[in-house]
Amino acid sequence: MAPPPLRRDHECEYRYSFCVEPLEGPNASGSYENSRAVTGVRFADAGGQRLVVSHYAGGVPQGNTEYRRTAADAWVVSRQTSGDDRAASGGLEVTVRQGLNDPPVLLASDSKTQVSRAIWDPNPQLKNLALGEAKVYQWKDKAGRAWKGGLFKPVPYESGRRYPLVIQTHGFSETEFRPSGLFPTAFAARALAGAGLVVLQVQDCPIEGTPEEGPCNVGGL
């Protein structure tokens, strides 16, 4: 059978579409608690034979799954990693190093000599800005559920002084540098802190995707 004709869509050419990874919907009770979201998809090679899918669940990054295209044009799992996005070649490992108060830097490490070096800083101008301090803040609600969030302090911060508080919801990651909060189009954590406010970026309710999600989020605050 001859292959289908070449199609053109937004100046991109393609012949086939393949399902790489099926995504699970809600379970019988309507809960998404065992599901995960895809936050990024990229090719790991120039030939389009290796594909990396990044996942997110429960308010934190879950790592990456690398797929390899077979001779039959199927995609099979070849490698899975957790935490930061990384790629390895021989004894050299390239990693994105970042933290709650540390902007992301591309780091190259030699697994044999254990020597690491920053090879690219995409935001060098941040070194000249007073960003203030963010720290992990933990508490429990009246139902005994454990909560976690990021507390962004004003710049400058004076111990013992009372500050206005802004609460941002819908997720928190303590391993990533997110100066606005989880969603940069809607939140402005460090910008508000720079204006003299305390900002708390709160994780999602531990029982999200259920009818109790709304009351749970209200109770957590």
**For 72-123, how does the pLDDT look when each residue is reduced to its tens digit (9 = 90+)?**
888 888 888 775 444 444 566 778 889 999 999 988 887 778 788 888 999 9
Residues 172 and 212 in one domain: yes
CA angle 37, 40, 43 (to 5 degrees): 135
Alpha-carbon span 119 to 95, nearest angstrom: 10
Alpha-carbon span 154 to 199, nearest angstrom: 8
Residues 161 and 215 in one domain: yes
Residues 106 and 62 in one domain: no
Q: Which of 111, 128, 145 is the last residue of a domain?
A: 128
- The average confidence (pLDDT) of the chain is 80
* φ and ψ of 124, to 5 deg: -65, -25
55, 63 Cβ separation under 8 angstroms: yes
Structural domain count, the chain? 3
**For 47-77, how does the pLDDT look when each residue is reduced to its tens digit (9 = 90+)?**
788 888 887 766 566 788 889 888 888 888 8
**For 152-164, how does the pLDDT look when each residue is reduced to its tens digit (9 = 90+)?**
999 889 999 999 9
Residue 113 lies in a domain: yes
Residues 149 and 195 in one domain: yes
Residues 212 and 163 in one domain: yes
Residue 3 lies in a domain: no
Residues 150 and 93 in one domain: no
Query: How many contiguous H segments (helices) and E segments (strands) does the chain have?
Result: 2, 14
Residue 198 lies in a domain: yes
Residue 5 lies in a domain: no
Residue 7 lies in a domain: no
Share of the chain above pLDDT 70, in %: 81
Residue 60: count of CB within 10 angstroms of its CB: 16
| The two structure tokens encoding residue 37 | 């979201």
The DSSP letter of residue 5 is: P
Residue 47: domain span: 12-21+34-83
Residues 190 and 205 in one domain: yes
Cβ neighbours of residue 220 under 8 Å, at least 6 residues apart? 141, 145, 147, 202, 205
Residues 51 and 94 in one domain: no
Residues 205 and 148 in one domain: yes
Residue 4 lies in a domain: no
Residues 95 and 64 in one domain: no
Residues 136 and 74 in one domain: no
The domain that holds 186 is classified in CATH as 3.40.50.1820
With 50 as the cut, is the pLDDT of residue 12 above it? Answer: no
Residues 141 and 201 in one domain: yes
Alpha-carbon span 150 to 202, nearest angstrom: 7
Residue 182 lies in a domain: yes
Cβ neighbours of residue 56 under 8 Å, at least 6 residues apart? 36, 37, 38, 39, 62
Residue 203 lies in a domain: yes
